Amino acid sequence: MTCTVRIPTPLRHLAGGRDAVEVADGTVADVLDHLDRECDGIHDRIRDDGGSVRRFVNVFVDGDDIRTLEGLSTVVREGAVVSIVPAIAGGAPDWRACLEELKSTVPQVTVAEVRSMRERGEDFVLIDVREAEENRRGRIPGGQHISRGFLEMKIEEAVPDHGAKIVVHCAGGVRSLLAAQSLRRLGYADVSSMAGGFEQWQRDGLPVEVPAGLDEADMDRYQRHISIPEVGVQGQVKLLESRVLLIGAGGLGCPAGYYLAAAGVGTIGIVDGDVVDLTNLQRQILHTADRVGMAKTESARRTLVALNPGIEVVPIHQRLTSANVGEIFDGWDLVVDGSDNFPTRYLVNDACVKFGIPCVHGSVYRFEGQVTVFKTPEGPCYRCLYPEPPPPGMAPSCADAGVLGVLPGVIGLLEAVEAVKLILGLGDTLVGRLLQYDALRAEFRELRIRRDPNCAYCAEGVEFPGFIDYEHFCASSHSTVSV
């Protein structure tokens, strides 16, 4: 004596693709047992460990819900049709039903159990299947991270032993259910999902590891840096620990400082003795119209800390001189030169040579700019290139030279890029190369520049000649372009 059991689409893979199966009759419970013999595993999908019909499944006998009959004891007569109807939404398996099903088929462990497994020294692998960004914001110490998207591809390498005890976790306990199910399908025999995930772990006040040097806000702010393998958390920490001195808060110093602050250079010093003038605003983007008359260093500081309150900006409202250069240059890793006159250029160069500080050099003139890195002894210094300034009158004065307002943006940012590369120790810097930019032709040209073996300041074995009277040396305090 048999009856017909109609198999719903989500379970047909357990029935060899059949939509109906003939089984021996009896009670509904008997029929489901018979069905399980035909379709291995289907019983668990329909009934829970206690034997009840799962709450997301309904069973009908000849069109009547067994809950309105006698439940599992309902008698199924010969020739009757038993329909199994799981919850389905919109033509696809209902997510909540899937989740309930996963919860019923994948073993789960609580956070407390994982903790005591650890305390007992139990041998198991804890795998964090959250995204890399989530892992970087904080993780359970001693866990292994494999993003859900790479789990199937990477698990063999991470856990070669299919018999190993594995606990997977995610943020809240859902993705880890899917992950655990997938691992079980791959043949891992002892896989469980940590209920509640990392969030529960945190709520329970258990130890969480955050990569050194970066708090959660930093992990968010610098996420796009941290995602670059060449930068990562270590690189960001380096940036935050770095100290960069900007010479000038003008056309070059403004864009360079803006991006260095955004990038998280932890301490930015700004030397400038000027105040904001209306004519500056065509290119000096840290300043604003309502700050005309304010010290440029203070105006720059306000803009930079508004952008990134996590950094320190040190305003040095002074004109750089031979008398104060020793004190001002003390303790900086890097100088970004955006000065606007020859005396300062030479003074900055000489001080960088003396104190062994790399100097990122930029300059602009109307539609042209140039940028390089002076770093001795690997490359030349400014004096190797130009042992002497042009005589007065040979260089245009600040009043009539002029500069296209966007050009210092380009050059200042090239300086910022070089500064970041130097801090991170990445790539090929412009040491020994002078990059020229012609805005009108939209062309970059590169010139190779070499050390002068007879340079009075940086040649090997030369004793530092001392700071000089740079104003006198250049014979004019504004002998070149004002940026």
Cβ closest to Zn ion, residue 449 vs residue 475: 449
| 176 token code pair | 């880890």
| 217 token code pair | 């806000």
Q: Supply the minimum distance, in Å, between the C-beta of residue 383 and Zn ion.
A: 4
Q: Supply the minimum distance, in Å, between the C-beta of residue 343 and Zn ion.
A: 17
Residue with tokens 């010969």: 78
The 8-class DSSP code of residue 8 comes to P
Cβ closest to Zn ion, residue 167 vs residue 352: 352
Cβ closest to Zn ion, residue 109 vs residue 431: 431
Angle subtended at Cα 259 by Cα 257 and Cα 265, rounded to the nearest 5 degrees: 75
276 binds Zn ion per the rule CB under 5 A: no
Q: Supply the minimum distance, in Å, between the C-beta of residue 344 and Zn ion.
A: 17
| 78 token code pair | 């010969």
- Kindly name the residue from 170, 398, 455, 458 that is annotated as catalytic: 398
Long-range contacts of 291-296 (CB under 8 A, 24+ apart): 296/249, 296/250, 296/270, 296/272
Closest CA to 476 of 412, 417, 390: 390
Interface map 429-468 toward Zn ion (x if CB under 5 A): --------------------------x--x----------
398 is catalytic: yes
Q: Supply the minimum distance, in Å, between the C-beta of residue 462 and Zn ion.
A: 9
What's the start-to-end Cα distance of the chain, in Å? Answer: 98
Residue with tokens 């258990």: 206
CA 421 to chain centroid, in Å, comes to: 17
Residue with tokens 């067994």: 66
Closest CA to 150 of 172, 122, 128: 128
Phi, psi of 90 (to 5 degrees): 55, 30
Site for Zn ion in 38-97 (CB under 5 A): none
Q: Supply the minimum distance, in Å, between the C-beta of residue 380 and Zn ion.
A: 5
Q: Is the Cα torsion angle 28, 31, 32, 33 positive or negative in sign?
A: positive
Q: Supply the minimum distance, in Å, between the C-beta of residue 375 and Zn ion.
A: 11
Cβ closest to Zn ion, residue 270 vs residue 353: 353
Cβ closest to Zn ion, residue 380 vs residue 412: 380
Q: Supply the minimum distance, in Å, between the C-beta of residue 386 and Zn ion.
A: 10
| Cα 75 from Cα 409, distance rounded (Å) | 84
Q: Residue 430 in contact with residue 418, Cβ under 8 Å? A: yes
Closest CA to 254 of 221, 285, 279, 226: 285
Cβ closest to Zn ion, residue 155 vs residue 359: 359
Q: Supply the minimum distance, in Å, between the C-beta of residue 458 and Zn ion.
A: 3
Cβ closest to Zn ion, residue 258 vs residue 374: 374
130, with CB counted inside 10 A (0-12, 13-18, 19+), is buried
| Cα 266 from Cα 343, distance rounded (Å) | 29
Cβ closest to Zn ion, residue 224 vs residue 448: 448
Cβ closest to Zn ion, residue 79 vs residue 377: 377
Strands 125-128 and 312-316: unpaired
Total residues in contact with Zn ion, by rule CB under 5 A: 5
Beta bridge partners, 202, equal none
Site for Zn ion in 325-384 (CB under 5 A): 381, 383-384
| Cα 138 from Cα 157, distance rounded (Å) | 24
Q: Supply the minimum distance, in Å, between the C-beta of residue 387 and Zn ion.
A: 8
Q: Residue 168 in contact with residue 178, Cβ under 8 Å? A: no
| 156 token code pair | 């063999």
DSSP class per residue in 356-388? T--EEEEEEEBTEEEEEEE-TTTS--HHHH-SS
| Cα 436 from Cα 410, distance rounded (Å) | 11
What are the residues binding Zn ion (CB under 5 A)?
381, 383-384, 455, 458
Q: Which residues are catalytic?
A: 398
